[in-house]
Structure formats: C-alpha cells, structure tokens
Structure 1
Amino acid sequence: MSMPFTIREFLDVFARYNTAIWPFQLVMTAAALGAVVMALRGGRGRLVGAYLVAQWAWTGVVYHWLFFSAINPAARGFAILWLAGALAFAWAGLWKGRLVFRTTSPPRLIVGTLLIAYALVVYPILGHFDGRAYPFSPTYGAPCPVTILTFGLLWLARPPLSRFLLIAPVLWAAVGSVGAFSLDVREDLGLLVAGVSGIVLALLPAPQPRAEEPREVQGA
C-alpha cells in the first residue's frame, strides 16, 4: 500500500515534533512509568485512567492534528480516533471507575509486562540500531509506542474489562501496522503483535463468580 508521503517526509515530521515539544517527551515517559507502577500496585484505576485520557488526547491533538496532518490528509481523522479513545478511557476509568488493576492472572501479568517493556525500552533501542537518531525518530508520546503501552496496561487490568476500551487501540494497531510495512519502520512491527494481543484480550471470556460453599446448619 502506497503512502501519500515519503519516509524522509515522515521522519522530518518527527524531527519537527520532537524539537517543538522538547523536553516534554521526558515528562510523558515519566508519566507512563508512574501509570505502570500504579497499575502493578493495584486498586481503582482512576489515576491510570487519567493518564490514558491525557496521553491519548495529547497524541491525537498535538502529534496527529498539529504535525502529522502537514503530510497526511488522513491525520485529522486519526486525531478524531485518538480523541474518541481518550473519551472512552474518561468514561470507563474516571466516570464509571471500571478500570481496576493488579490482576491475579500470571499470563495477563506476563503479556502486559512484555508489552510495556517493548514500548518503553525495546522500541527506542530498535529505532536507534535501525539508523533513526534523535530527533528523526519516534519518541514516547508518538502513536505507536503509546498504543503498545496502552495494550500492556489493559492486560494488567482486572477482568472483566470493558471491551469498548480496545476499539481505538485495535484500530490504530491496524493502521500503524500497515505503515510499518510500507515505510519499513521495523520497531512498529511490535504494534501488530500488540494489536493481535488486544483482539485476544477482547475475546477472553469474563471470569465466572465462584459459587459459595453451603454453610453447615447449626444444631442439625
């Protein structure tokens, strides 16, 4: 699939974006680490939800609408998708309090931790060794690493998970995976794996409540 821009133009967008927002990338990375720590500690996820709302809104408005739209006419549509994702996290995580963390499932914990580690550690390392030096590289806050980390956090959530929270991340995983192949951005191939994991997460059955054991009748 051909893109309406070249790889050079794509990387130039990152250079302009990174230069304009520096050092806010560091703030976003610190906020992401804080959200991960809170998710691992467990409890009601309103602070994690607030982080996801802010991050998805930032990426939608600042990256897509203000920067990426300069070379891609579809970027404003992408911005709307990201703002819809932010609204979903606001409704479930802040308004309804449906994000609860500290899963007791080892497989969920492993998948979530691996995705988070990929987004924050492996992703920038792969970009560096692929010859994309700062500022011509996606830093944390760019769509793909944010989406991968989002899937990681949702894997850490205690089921049942509101499945509509996965709609925007899965849709972006599909869009970003196409771009990864077309532009040969190999670190973004992790987005394909993350997207598949999101579909698996959506299809997992909700856990059934345990039946209470019958109590002994006194004096029987």
Structure 2
Amino acid sequence: MLPFAAETLLSIFGQYNRGIWPLHGVAALMVLVALALALVGGRGAGRVVGLLLGVLWVWIGVAFIGGALAEFHFWASRLAGVFVAQGLMLVFALTLLARHGFGWPGGLAGTVAVLVMAYAMVGHVLLEVLLLGTPWAQAQYVGVVPGPTMLFTLGILLLAQPRPALILAIIPFLWALVTAYIAWELGLWLEYVPAALGVIAFVLLLVRWLYPGERRLFRSDA
C-alpha cells in the first residue's frame, strides 16, 4: 500500500518540476539526441546513447526518487539505488563495452519502438493535460521522472543491434509493473497506458532472445 494519495503524488511532481526548472529542456535535448543517434545507427552512436540514458537514470534516482520522493516513501533510498544501478549498467554495456550498435530495424520492433518512444516523449504529457486537466507544472516529462524514461529506454533497446543484453531491460520492465500498481492503488487510470506499453516492449525484447526466427518476426526486409 502506498503511503500517499494521488493528490500528494501530483504535488510531488509539481514541487519537483518547479525545483529543477529549466533542466526539463536539457533532458528533452538529451532524449532527442539519443533518439536521433539510435535511428541513424552505428556502434559509435551506441556509446553516446548509453551515456545519455545512463545520466538520465542516475539523475532520476538521485534527484527525484532519492530527493523529491524521499520524505514520502520509506523505500526511496533503495529505489534510488536501483535507478542509479540501471544508469551505470547502461553506461557500462553501451558506452564502455560498446557491443551494441543501433539502427532502424523496420517491422514489428521498429513500429513498437516508435510508438512507445513517441508516447513517452509527448503522448503521456498531452493526455495528462488534455484528458485529466493536470496542470503543466505537475505533468510527467521524459528524462526527469521514472515512467516516461522507463518507456523511452525500452523503445531505444528495441533499436539495438544485435539484440541487447536482457538485463538492461529488467529494471525498466519492473518499473512498468510498479507503474501499473500505482495506477491501481491510486486510481490513476492513465498510468495503465505506459505500464502496458512497457510490458509489450519488454515482451518483444524477450522474444528476441527466445524465438529462433527473430529476423522473420521483427524485420520487414527479412
């Protein structure tokens, strides 16, 4: 059971957004650069993508979960460590080891990747404001809060070539499940959307590991 109500969570987002402004713009620029490099492809692009995503995850762990959320949730310090660990794994696997390049795969993987990243970048914010009447100051922006960043990361991993280490997607997947729990516990029905998209993206990543006919399933040029 969560130790706060939906109104409190929105208030946390609002205080946090006001406190870090205008870093939203910096995070948005980092997200756009990561997306552009992932679509262009190449192993060198993968190094930069890993670094950008890693910085965003570490920032969210330290500033949002370990900072803004800390006084409202007794597990905040542990959760902050999990987010920092995810950021370090992304930097290690994509930037330091540089075993993965990126590129547009076409097919199902490419379609889902674009869908989840578009929703993470602009879709969720617009639905919050237009459907729920959430003030812009209390909305969730990619790169600075967990939900949209989780979704964007899974979308980026769908563009990785060859298939990425599945461990890179475990924490984002778990946060998708946490998002579903938050939606149920607090009655925030819109949060089911990023949760569902995150699970779908993870399932596709999992299938890439388990299904021998990956190329036929995921690539339009196969």
Could you state the TM-score of these two structures normalised by the residue count of structure 2? 0.88
- Taking the aligned partners of 2:16 and 2:27, their CA distance within structure 1 comes to 14
C-alpha displacement at 1:203, in angstroms? 3.1
Instruction: Show the counterpart of 2:4.
Output: 5
**Cα deviations by residue, 1:106-150 (Å, 9 ceiling, x for unpaired):** 211111001110001111011102121121222222100000111
- Taking the aligned partners of 2:166 and 2:51, their CA distance within structure 1 comes to 18
What residue ranges of structure 1 are gaps of 5+ in the alignment? 211-220
Instruction: Show the counterpart of 1:160.
Output: 163
SS in 2 for 1:138: coil
Instruction: Show the counterpart of 2:76.
Output: 75
C-alpha displacement at 1:10, in angstroms? 0.9
C-alpha displacement at 1:99, in angstroms? 2.5
Tell which structure's C-alpha radius of gyration is larger.
Answer: 1
Letter in 1 for 2:176: A
Identity %: 29
Aligned residues of 1:170 and 1:199 also touching (Cα < 8 A): no
C-alpha displacement at 1:19, in angstroms? 0.6
Equivalenced residues, count: 209
Query: Structure 1 residue 201 and structure 2 residue 205: aligned?
Result: yes
Query: Structure 1 residue 172 and structure 2 residue 172: aligned?
Result: no
Aligned residues of 2:163 and 2:208 also touching (Cα < 8 A): no
CA RMSD of aligned residues (A): 1.9
Range with bigger deviation, 116-125 or 91-100: 91-100
What aligned pairs does 1:123-142 form with structure 2 within 5 A after superposition? 123-129=124-130, 130-140=132-142, 141-142=144-145
- Taking the aligned partners of 1:185 and 1:138, their CA distance within structure 2 comes to 13
Could you state the TM-score of these two structures normalised by the residue count of structure 1? 0.88
Aligned residues of 1:35 and 1:48 also touching (Cα < 8 A): yes
- Taking the aligned partners of 2:189 and 2:128, their CA distance within structure 1 comes to 8
Letter in 2 for 1:138: Q
C-alpha displacement at 1:184, in angstroms? 2.8
**Structure with greater helix share of residues:** 2
